[in-house]
Chain A
Amino acid sequence: MQAHDGELGAAVARAQQGDEAAFAVAYRIVQPALLGYLRGIVGDDAEDVASDAWLEIARDLGRFKGDGAGFRGWTATIARHRALDHLRRQRVRPRSSALEQDVLELPGPQSTHEQALEAMSTEHALELVRGLPRDQAEAVLLRVVVGLDGPAAARVLGKRPGAVRTAAYRGLKRLAGQLGAESVTDDAPRTLGEST
């Protein structure tokens, strides 16, 4: 994903000049990773939170200064604030029922068996990541999914780089332990072979 940083930086610069198509390019480069990060924090509400975040990104684009990598960090910061707002609201309001969400998540009839498996493994990875302590989960997501470097991830989280490095390290170790355990017990050889 960092491979796109040059292209992303150029697109952002053009968008700041008012180029609508360039903004769409930046959106397409950033959105998948941003959505992955948000899934790790707010789960199935990620799409909604991402939409909110993009409204703010579109509005404040003129304020941003930096290159492609900087844009990832800046957008991740905005998305994170929207996600935390969302979680705060959720705490006040009762959550929508889990059952309803499960129904929506069911693979449609056109899904092949393979697609269903992939969907399951995404859900499963998500479950594992969300099972981590929040600081570890966020550090892992920002580093691995969004592709930020240590200092940038630290800035997004408002923490010291050392603390974030440690959190990412512990999170990965924990995930490695869990995934490793599964690779022995269940069908994991196949799963791992497919995904790596």
Chain B
Amino acid sequence: MGERQSDGGLAGRASRHALLDSEVEALIAASLIRDGVDAEAEQRAVAAFRAARDDGAHRTRTRLRDDWRPRERRRYLGLSLRTTLGVLFASLTLGGVAVAAIGAAGSPADGPDDGRGHPPATSGTPSDPARTPSRGGDPGRPSGTATGSAPTRPDRPAPAQDTEAHCRAYQQVEGRGRAMDATAWQRLVDAAGGERNVTRYCAAQLERSTPEPKPTQSGGSENSGASENSGTSGNKGSGENNGTDKGQDKSTPARPNGRSQ
């Protein structure tokens, strides 16, 4: 500060002598904040508090403007360019991955797709089971995702593949931007049965969809090539309960073995 002033003595004016922000802040705070409170004013406030408390006024509902918990504040921060870009990026990513999944599923999986494209027998299954979060957790129950709505839209990738693609996208965009706004994302949340379940649901999905060496080799070795074939095409060949409905024509006996090991 001293040298600044000696400078100033020579050169003169304001522009040369802008203070640091912290100095201004300290000066303003020191000037405007007076320590200590007026006892009388405090008594009035406390009396008002007492009256309100005794009237039961304090048992009132919290309005939005009364909620100052930190989460709220952070959400407030998010109204920015970054958010917009995040949503754009997420939707592009989700879309791109979904397209890639269609391409990948189309070619190598022709065989199993045939077997799987028309299980009309199971088309009556309501699609609701697909929305239950316990889908992967209950091995005894036939899973509805793959069969529930696939027959109604033969030109689209099965919803399970959709889901898988979304799960992959989710892992990629996780923590960046607000992918939550994308429609595809909402579908994934529905399928998982709630936002909180998405991570677990996706973990189950992806685990199921990646070809597992152990069941294929041990259980599938006694088996025909059908199970390995399906293993290459995403979630269809996975050793889990997807097999219960669609795998009946191919490798029913092998599946339970593979799973039990």
B32→A36 contact, CB < 8 A: yes
**Interface-central residue, B26, B45, B62, B79, by most chain A CB under 10 Å:** B45
B45→A57 contact, CB < 8 A: yes
Let me know if B121 is at the binding interface, CB within 8 A.
no
Name the CB-closest residue of B to A59. B52
Of A64-72, A91-99, A106-114, the one contacting chain B is A64-72
Let me know if B63 is at the binding interface, CB within 8 A.
yes
With A32-B35, A62-B57 known to touch, is A181 a contact of B13 (CB < 8 Å)?
yes
Residues of B within 8 A of A193 (CB): 1
Q: How large is the interface on B (under 10, 10 to 19, 20 to 34, 35 or more residues)?
A: 35 or more
User: Complex Cα distance A14/B1, Å?
Assistant: 45
Contact among B27, B73, B79 with A196 in the assembled complex (CB-CB below 8 Å): B27
With A71-B68, A176-B18 known to touch, is A63 a contact of B62 (CB < 8 Å)?
yes
Number of A-B pairs, beta carbon distance below 8 Å: 195
Contact among B28, B45, B68 with A54 in the assembled complex (CB-CB below 8 Å): B45
Task: Return B84 CB to nearest CB of chain A, in Å.
Answer: 13
Q: How large is the interface on A (under 10, 10 to 19, 20 to 34, 35 or more residues)?
A: 35 or more
A36→B33 contact, CB < 8 A: yes
Residues of B within 8 A of A69 (CB): 68
> Residues 38-74 of chain B: 1 if any A CB is under 8 Å from the residue's CB, otherwise 0?
1001101110111111000111111101111110011
- For the complex with contacts A59-B57, A70-B69, A180-B8, 14 further pairs of A-B residues with Cβ separation under 8 Å are A50-B41, A54-B45, A65-B68, A73-B68, A143-B25, A144-B28, A151-B76, A155-B76, A173-B18, A177-B15, A177-B18, A181-B13, A193-B1, A196-B1
| Top 6 A-B pairs, shortest CB-CB distance | A70-B68, A62-B58, A66-B68, A125-B31, A180-B17, A181-B14
